[in-house]
Chain A
Amino acid sequence: MKQILVIAEIFKGRIRPVTWELVAGARKIAAILSQTRNIPGKHLPCIQIIVPSDNPKPLAEKISEQTGNAVIGLQIPGFKTYTSDIYIDCLGQLIREMTPTHILAAHTSQGRDFAPGLALELNAASISGINHIRFDETGLFYSRPVLDNTKNMLVRPDPDRPVMLTLMPGVFKPDSHKKGKTKQVDILKISFGSDACENSRIQPTKILKRPCENQALKGAKIIVAAGRGVEKKENLELISRFADCFSSSAVGASRPLVDMGWIGYEHQVGITGTIVAPEVYIACGISGSSQHIAGMKDTKCVISINKNPTAPIFRHSDICITADVLEFIHAFLTLPDPV
């Protein structure tokens, strides 16, 4: 039987919610396959979720309970935390014995780390960062952002081999969980190569958390966020003055400003910063990369100021202001108060 495999994302012994999005993606693929190919019911593609762990049983049971899909607990003796070497080797051993058409992982720091190597290990095609699953008469194809998020590229994998896909987090909406219909849970034991995990070429030392006092961002009704379009560190002063116009506001920033040391990490909005959802988000000179959008997409009202009318941020905005951001803020600050 053809399988659609989902690699559950486990972090610090817990199932990360992106796993449910992967299951939703797998269901979409299964639905398309059963709709487009005239295959009798019993050959319908089956979804199997793989959970790597040193003790996968409780995690596997939980996933099976939540999804109603079959789950394979991949038991790796001596496994402590994720490393690409262990994942590629152990998942490779397991999946080589199966006949998957699709293997799904998350486009996260973990999925991006092991998926390309696992694809090569399995002689599979590999497509990363998928934001749409589509089909035509020839079969399935996928869309992924390219060119600084200004375009989507449509990519079709060769039909004669499996394909490894990493799905953009936050795109595929998890189905409401099916409770009660628990399917089969198998536990399979696979050792890391001929070695024990202690002999892996990659040794995890410890997981650190960057201290982040971001209460200001979390509590604000309005976030005024600065991007590379503010051009100079000195211009952040102007952003602060703009933010001061509002009673409950905070200053946010895109990542490059933090990387360049213009502003502290606690101001960074995005997938590797803080996730915010204020009433109003004012993006000042921010292009709208997927990593930034993921950090503010639940905002009630997004206002963007950008000098480039085709900037991707405008697709994610309720109000679009095409202007030089510095000029615009000056104009705003010098408005004759209409009251």
Chain B
Amino acid sequence: MKILVCIKQVGDDGDMNRFDAHALEEALFIKEHSDNTMPEPVSVDIVTAGPSTAEKIIRRAFGMGADRGFHIVTENSDYISSFVTAFGLSAVAKKTSYDLILTGIMSEDMMAGQTGPMMAKILNLPCATGVIKIFLPLTGKTIKVEREMENGFRDGLVILLPAVLTIQAGINTPRYPCLSNMLSANRKQILSLSSEDLFWEPIRARESCIGMEDPEKARTGRVLEGSVADKAAQLFSFLREKNLI
């Protein structure tokens, strides 16, 4: 069984998107707990599209235990459409016949939650978003999952493989990279691909970013001034006035 996990670099520190760490952890967990039940060994590949600095999270993924790492090297760019990303990642996915493709439920920077379901459509695979539980062991043909809905509801599903799942935080606790993996990670080769290697035809975004704004204030927001003790005293008298303390 072959698993592909899509990981994205986000934030000023260039860390792995939090939800993607959960997706990778889940893939590694499946690998460790299905090797006996599956006809063939389980492998976990990762793919990321991003500038050269994204190598950092590939190394981290190796450190956590990923087998192969693909890097679609892109220019630094302010806006990348989920649509374009999904085509790029799908092109990598097509090179190997993966049984399971995992993404995070959303990226912390773009917060779109679109890349996974779009990949599923491009690859003509079934897709479930917000997966909060995967039932193990896997046996091969199908996968049993629960996806999270609002207000504590969960949707139980049995999905035919190959499939795309987007992973919600809370499914597991991502491991830290381990030393022995980190050492061998440095020897592992990152398989770099340019967009020209992948795109059979240029994919253009269907929307464009025309600006950024600060969100408006929903409440007045009185700012307390002074030392920490002053602020604490002000809060105390405020609550005392309201008869709450």
Contact = CB atoms under 8 A, between A and B. Distances in A.
A231 interface: no
Nearest to A332: B232
Contacts of B126: 84-85, 201-202
A141 interface: yes
B224 A320 contact: yes
A205 B156 contact: yes
Interface centre among A85, A247, A261, A319 (most CB of B within 10 A): A319
Main SS at interface, chain A: mixed
A204 interface: yes
Nearest to B163: A201
B232 A331 contact: yes
Interface stretch (A23-31, A42-50, A65-73, A114-122): A114-122
Nearest to B218: A316
Interface string A128-161: 1101000000000101111111111111111001
Contacts of B154: 207-210
A146 B236 contact: no
A335 B236 CA distance: 9
Nearest to B149: A109
B110 interface: yes
Contacts of B211: 153-154
Contacts of B222: 318-320
A193 interface: no
Contacts of A302: 219
Contacts of B221: 314-315, 317-320
A154 B117 contact: no
Interface string B216-245: 111111111000110111011111101011
A210 B240 CA distance: 38
Given A109-B148, A113-B130, A126-B114, A202 B159 contact: yes
B173 A260 contact: yes
A187 interface: no
Q: B interface, by DSSP: helix, strand, loop or mixed?
A: mixed
Contact of B150 (A155, A158, A272): A272
A328 interface: yes
Contacts of A261: 173
A204 to B, nearest CB: 6
A119 B86 CA distance: 13
A116 B82 contact: yes
B207 A157 contact: yes
Contacts of A84: 117, 126-129
Nearest to B216: A315
Interface stretch (A53-61, A97-105, A251-259): A251-259
B191 interface: no
A158 B221 CA distance: 38
B238 to A, nearest CB: 7
B178 interface: no
B157 interface: yes
A142 to B, nearest CB: 9
Given A155-B209, A255-B170, A319-B222, A210 B110 contact: no
Contact of A117 (B120, B206, B240): B120
Given A113-B129, A319-B238, A154 B220 contact: no
A205 B144 CA distance: 9
A129 B113 contact: yes
Interface in B112-160: 112-114, 117-118, 120-122, 126-130, 144, 146-160
B98 interface: no
A168 to B, nearest CB: 11
Interface in A47-97: 81-85, 88
A95 to B, nearest CB: 15
Contacts of A320: 221-224
A153 B80 CA distance: 12
A328 B111 contact: no
Interface of B: 79, 82-83, 108-114, 117-118, 120-122, 126-130, 144, 146-160, 163, 169-170, 173, 206-224, 228-229, 231-233, 235-240, 242, 244-245
22 contacts: A109-B149, A109-B155, A113-B129, A114-B117, A115-B117, A116-B113, A116-B121, A117-B118, A127-B207, A141-B210, A144-B112, A145-B215, A153-B212, A202-B126, A205-B156, A210-B154, A260-B173, A315-B218, A321-B235, A327-B228, A335-B236, A338-B236
List the 8 closest pairs (A to B, CB-CB), nearest first: A125-B206, A205-B156, A259-B170, A201-B126, A116-B117, A331-B232, A210-B152, A109-B149
Interface of A: 11, 81-85, 88, 108-110, 112-117, 119-121, 124-129, 131, 141, 143-158, 161, 163, 201-212, 221-222, 245-247, 255-256, 258-261, 265, 271-273, 275, 279-280, 297, 301-303, 312, 314-324, 327-328, 331-332, 335, 338
